[in-house]
Structure 1
Amino acid sequence: MSAAVENQRTVEIELVNGHGGVDPRKWEDLFLPTPLKLENRLRAQKIEARLSKLMLCGSTLRRVGEVFEKEIEAGLRQQPSSLQMENTYVPELPDGTEEGSFLALDLGGTNFRVLFLELKAGQLLREKVKHYHINDALRLGPGEDLFNFLADCVQDFLVSQSMEKETFSLGFTFSFPMRQHSISSGELITWTKSFNCGGMDGVDVAALLQRCLSARSLDVTVRVLLNDTTGTLVAGAHIDRNVGIGVILGTGSNGCYMERASRVLHWERPHSAVHDVCIDIEWGAFGDNGCLDFLRTEFDDEVDAKSLLVASFTFEKYIGGKYLGDLLTFTLSALARDGLFPADPNFRKLQTSHVSLFEEESCAGEVSRTLSALREACNSDLLSTADALVAQYVAHVISNRAAQLVSVCISTLLKRMDRPYVAVAVDGSVFKHHPRIAKLMNKYIALLAPAHQFSLMIAEDGSGKGSALTAAIAARMATRGVARL
C-alpha cells in the first residue's frame, strides 16, 4: 500500500470519526461529484439539479450497504433474496504448492478459449492458448450441439499440441448463472449475453462436457466448474495470498468472496473440515426484487426498457460497461428535451468507451475528442466547447455513481470478513480502462469501511488461468486425501 493511499485513508477516517476538529457532517459531501463549471452559471445549476438523483450522498450509500447485507444473509440462509449467494465448493486458494499440467476451457462469449498450463511449486512454467469462435447456430441451437463443439475444440487443441494421448484434469469456466452441486457439477439457471441454447433444463453442464470429451476417447477429466468471478479470485490469490474478494467490473459485474463455511446453509457434500468457502454472489441481479428502487431514476428506466432482459440485472445496469454508454445517451437526451443540451444523441452512437474518453479528456482539461464524438453521435456541427463540458460532466456523474455502488459492495464484504487486511482482485474492461474508476473506488471503500485495510489489484485472465489453478487446487487436495466437495 502506497504512502499516498495510506495518508488519504487517514484523512478520510478522521472525517468519518470527526477527529481533528473536522465536522463529521462533511463526510456526506466527500461522495459528491466535482461540480460543473460553465461560464453560464445558471445553465450549470439547472443541469446539476436535473441530474441530482444520480448523485448519491453518504447516507444513501450506507442504506445501500445495509440492504446488501440483508440480501447476503437471506441468500446464505436460502431465503428469498435478489442475491444468488451460490456455494462454489472452492474451499482453498492457491498456496504455492500447485503442481502439474492442466487444461482450462473458458466459455463466456461468442469467442472462447482452450488453455494449457504447466505449474511447478505454484509457479507458471508454460502456457498455451487457442481461440475458437461460436457461430449463431450453435449459440441458439440445441445445447448438445454446443457442447459437442466444445469437445471438438478441446480435441483440436490437444492434437495441435501433440498431446491428444496424455492425461489431463480440466477446469471449466462457464460464465453463466448456475446452481452448483459440487466443485465439479452444476446446472444452468439461465442463459445470458447472446446464448439461448435449448434442451438444457436440469442438465449438469460439467457432466455433459465430460460425456462429450469421453465420446472422443480423450483422457480428460472435468475437475472443477466455476465462473469468471471465482476464477478472478483464484488468479488473484495466486499473485497475493491476501486476496479474499474477487470482482468483475467489465461488460457485466459480479463479486465473490471467502465466507465462513458455518454461515452457509447450501451444502450437498460433507464439509466438516471446511473453514472457508468461496461464495459467488451474482450481484448483477441485486435489486431485482425491488429492494433498490429508492436508487432508480428515469434514466435507469430508459436503459432498462431498451435492454435485452427487461426488469432483470438491476444492479449491473447501474455499473456494467454494457449499459454505461446507454445511460450517457439517455441522460444527454433528457437534458436536450429540457433545453439544456443542444442535440439529442442517436441511440447506441455513444458507447461505454466514450464515457472513458470523456472522463480522460476531463482529467486532462481537454475537449477536442469529446466534441468530435458528440458531433458524430448527434449528427450536428452546432455543439460548442461548453456542450462538451456538459457531456464530460454527465460522464463523470454516472461514473462516480458506478464507483460508489461497487465500493458499497466491497466495503460490506470487508466488514463481513473482518480480516486485518484483504486484497481485492479485480478484472474487467471498465476497471482497467476507465481513467478514474480505480481511484474513486479506493476513496469510497476507505470512506465506507474506514477500519478495514484493503488494496485493489488487477488480476488478469481469471477465466483462463484461474480455472486451471482451481483444477490444480482440487488435485492438491486429492493428494492430501481430502474428499472432493
Structure 2
Amino acid sequence: MPSQGKFRSSGKGSKRSSVKKIVTDPKERQRLVENIVKPFILDDAVYKRVCDVMLDNFNKGLGKETNAEARVKMFPTYVRSVPDGTEEGDFLALDLGGTNFRVLLISLKGQEVNMESKIFLIPQHIMLGTGIQLFDHIADCIYKFMKEQKIEKKTLPLGFTFSFPCKQLGLAKAKLTTWTKGFKCEGVEGNDIVQLLHEAIKRKGDMEVECLAVINDTVGALMSCAHSDRQCAIGLILGTGTNACYIEKLENVGLWDSDYNDPKEVIINTEWGAMGDDGGLDFLITEYDKHVDKHSINGGKQIYEKMISGMYMGEIVRLVLEKLRRNGLLFGGVGSEELSKRGRFYTKYVSEIESDVDESDFKSTKQVFEELELTNYTDEDCRIALYVCSLVSTRAAYLASAGIATLLNKMGRKDVSVAVDGSLYRFHPHFHDLMVEKIEKLVTPGIRFKLMLSHDGSGKGAALVAAVANRLRDEEAKKEKDCKPNED
C-alpha cells in the first residue's frame, strides 16, 4: 500500500481534507468498503416494493380526481395514428432535451427515410436565461441549418421533440409544467412551447416553418420503432434524464375528455422521473442521493430520475469514491482537485471504467484517473472504483427495470417490444443485460418482452409524427373539398 503522503486540497481556498488512518489490512479494507457501499445492494423484495409504489403513482396520475395531487402526471398525448407508409416529402425535426439540441432534415418516401442533422450547443447562460433568449437561439440555429441545406426558401412542416414535462393540450400545443435537467429559463413554465417557437421564428424571419407536432422523446422512440415493429408499445429514455411512455386503454384514462372520434387506446407520457417527490421512495434513498438532490437546481424534485439517469450517476459515484478516500480506503487517502469538484466525475467515466474487461491492466480506469489528475493509485484502487461504478449503475438499471416491469404488468399484453433510447442505455456495456435480467424476475409469468434500441427516435420519431399530421390534414382538406357542392 502507498504511504499517506501529503493531502491535497479539496478545492481552491478550502481546508485540507481530513483523512482517517490509511487501512492496509486487505480483509479489513474489504469489510469497510462493503459497509460503505452496502446501501446500493438491494434485494428483489425492495424492487417489488418499487413496482408497488410505481403502480400506485400511475393510477393516481390517471385518475381524474387524484391527478391534481399526483407527482407522476401521466399526461395523455395526442398522437392518434402511426405512419401508413404513404407519407412523402421533406420534414424538419427539432430535438431538445439537454445541453445539446439537434436540427434535422428528414426526407420520406414510403419506407425510405433519409436524414441530415446538425448538433448545436445551448450555452449555460441561455439555459439559465429567459425563454425569449432560448427560443431566439433555437430559431437562429434552425435558419443556419436550413441555409446550409439550401432549403431556406422552402415551406416545411416541423416536428418538435421537447423532452421536458409538458401538459399536452393538442398535437401542436403543450405547456411546460416544470424545467428539469439543468434548465431554468424564465417565462417558459406554464406557457405553450409551440407558440414560443413560432414567435421566435417570426422574429427571425426569412424562413417558413410550421410546427405541426410536439412530442416527448419517449413518444419519438416508440413511434420510430413502431414503424417497423407492431408489437412496440413502450418508449423508454435512459440518457441525461429518464422517462417512459406506453399505450394505455382509454377506459383507464380518467383525464380524457371523450368524444365520438376517440381511439380505444392512447399513448400516455408518464413523466415517471418525479416518482418519490412525495417521499414514496425514502425507504431506499442513500446519503449520496440526498447530497445530489440537495445540490441540484431542483431540490426535492425528480427523485427517481436522480437515482437512474446520466445527469446524476457520475456524481453519485464521485461522492462514494470521495468517502472511501476520506476513510483511508482509496488512493492512499490522496485525492485531487478534479475529483473534489462537484459534477467533475462524468457518467461516461462509469461506462468507460466498466468496459475494463481485462483487470490485468485496467487501461480505461487508469485513463479516467489520469483525467482526474489522480496519481496515487494501485490496481486494488482500480478494482474498488470498478466495484463502486458497477453497484451504482446496477441499481440504476434495476430501478428502471422495476418501472418497465410495472408497465408490462399493467398493460397485460402477451408480447411487448420496448423501444429504448438515450446515451446511458446506448453506451453502458451492461445496462441492457442487467435490465433484461431484472425485468424477467419482476414481470408477471407469461408476459414476453424485448428491449430494442430506438434508432434516432427523437429525430425520426418527431418527423414521422409531423408527417402523419400533415397527411391527415391533407386528407381532411380533400374530404371537405369533395363534400362541397359543385357550383358549376
Using the size of structure 2 for normalisation, the TM-score is 0.83
1:141, 1:371 → 2: CA distance?
38
Give the one of 214, 231, 245 matched to 2:234: 245
Corresponding residue for residue 11 of structure 1? none
Corresponding residue for residue 198 of structure 1? 186
Q: Does 1:235 align with 2:224?
A: yes
Structure 2 stretches lacking a partner, 5+ long: 1-23, 478-488
Give the one of 410, 416, 430 matched to 1:416: 410
Corresponding residue for residue 469 of structure 2? 474
Corresponding residue for residue 325 of structure 2? 336
Corresponding residue for residue 389 of structure 2? 395
Inter-CA distance 123–440: structure 2 relative to 1 (3 Å threshold): same
Within a 5 Å distance, the mapping from 1:28-427 to structure 2 comes to 40-78=26-64, 79=66, 80-124=69-113, 126-136=114-124, 138-214=126-202, 216=205, 218-267=207-256, 270=259, 272-341=261-330, 342-343=332-333, 344=335, 345-347=339-341, 348-362=343-357, 366-371=361-366, 373-374=368-369, 377=372, 379-381=374-376, 383-427=377-421
Q: Which amino acid aligns with 2:50?
A: V
| RMSD (Å), alpha carbons | 2.6
Please report how far the alpha carbon of residue 219 of structure 1 lies from its aligned counterpart in structure 2 after TM superposition.
4.1
Corresponding residue for residue 448 of structure 1? 442
Q: Deviations over 1:362-421 (max 9, x none)?
A: 57665244245346647442x222222111111111111111101111111111112221
Corresponding residue for residue 3 of structure 2? none
Inter-CA distance 159–322: structure 2 relative to 1 (3 Å threshold): closer
Please report how far the alpha carbon of residue 465 of structure 1 lies from its aligned counterpart in structure 2 after TM superposition.
1.2
- Identify the range of structure 1 (411-420 vs 398-407) with the bigger mean alpha-carbon deviation: 411-420
Q: Which amino acid aligns with 2:470?
A: A
Inter-CA distance 350–105: structure 2 relative to 1 (3 Å threshold): closer
Q: Which amino acid aligns with 2:111?
A: G
Please report how far the alpha carbon of residue 208 of structure 1 lies from its aligned counterpart in structure 2 after TM superposition.
2.7
Q: Secondary structure at the match of 1:316?
A: helix
1:176, 1:291 → 2: CA distance?
22
Inter-CA distance 368–164: structure 2 relative to 1 (3 Å threshold): closer
Inter-CA distance 186–97: structure 2 relative to 1 (3 Å threshold): same
Q: Deviations over 1:282-337 (max 9, x none)?
A: 12221111100001111212222232322222111111111111111111223334
Within a 5 Å distance, the mapping from 1:431-446 to structure 2 comes to 431-446=425-440
Percent of counterpart pairs with the same letter? Answer: 40
Q: Which amino acid aligns with 1:68?
A: M
Please report how far the alpha carbon of residue 477 of structure 1 lies from its aligned counterpart in structure 2 after TM superposition.
3.5
Q: Which amino acid aligns with 2:181?
A: K
Please report how far the alpha carbon of residue 468 of structure 1 lies from its aligned counterpart in structure 2 after TM superposition.
0.4
Q: Secondary structure at the match of 1:294?
A: coil
Contact 2:198/2:211, CA 8 A, preserved across alignment: yes
Contact 1:260/1:276, CA 8 A, preserved across alignment: yes
Inter-CA distance 98–446: structure 2 relative to 1 (3 Å threshold): farther
Q: Which amino acid aligns with 2:350?
A: V
May I ask how many residue pairs the two structures share in their alignment?
443
Inter-CA distance 386–128: structure 2 relative to 1 (3 Å threshold): closer
Contact 1:361/1:367, CA 8 A, preserved across alignment: yes
Please report how far the alpha carbon of residue 244 of structure 1 lies from its aligned counterpart in structure 2 after TM superposition.
1.0
Contact 2:176/2:189, CA 8 A, preserved across alignment: yes
Q: Secondary structure at the match of 2:432?
A: helix
Inter-CA distance 447–147: structure 2 relative to 1 (3 Å threshold): same
Corresponding residue for residue 7 of structure 1? none
Inter-CA distance 306–185: structure 2 relative to 1 (3 Å threshold): same
Q: Which amino acid aligns with 1:189?
A: T
Inter-CA distance 460–371: structure 2 relative to 1 (3 Å threshold): same
Q: Which amino acid aligns with 1:59?
A: A
Q: Which ranges of 4 or more aligned residues in structure 1 deviate by more than 6 Å?
A: none
Inter-CA distance 387–110: structure 2 relative to 1 (3 Å threshold): closer
Contact 2:292/2:312, CA 8 A, preserved across alignment: yes
Q: Deviations over 1:87-116 (max 9, x none)?
A: 121123334343332221222334333222
1:230, 1:314 → 2: CA distance?
22
- Identify the range of structure 1 (278-287 vs 126-135) with the bigger mean alpha-carbon deviation: 126-135
Contact 2:98/2:181, CA 8 A, preserved across alignment: yes
Contact 2:182/2:297, CA 8 A, preserved across alignment: no
2:476, 2:82 → 1: CA distance?
17
Q: Which amino acid aligns with 1:384?
A: T
Structure 1 stretches lacking a partner, 5+ long: 1-37
1:46, 1:454 → 2: CA distance?
40
Corresponding residue for residue 11 of structure 2? none
Q: Secondary structure at the match of 2:115?
A: strand
Q: Deviations over 1:114-154 (max 9, x none)?
A: 22212122331x33324444445544443234334433443
Contact 2:313/2:392, CA 8 A, preserved across alignment: yes
Using the size of structure 1 for normalisation, the TM-score is 0.84
Contact 1:92/1:276, CA 8 A, preserved across alignment: no
Q: Which amino acid aligns with 2:213?
A: V
2:476, 2:25 → 1: CA distance?
71
Q: Secondary structure at the match of 1:191?
A: coil
Inter-CA distance 271–236: structure 2 relative to 1 (3 Å threshold): farther
Q: Which amino acid aligns with 1:346?
A: S
Contact 2:181/2:240, CA 8 A, preserved across alignment: no
Inter-CA distance 384–448: structure 2 relative to 1 (3 Å threshold): same
Contact 1:106/1:113, CA 8 A, preserved across alignment: yes
Contact 2:179/2:189, CA 8 A, preserved across alignment: no
Q: Which amino acid aligns with 1:474?
A: A
2:255, 2:358 → 1: CA distance?
47
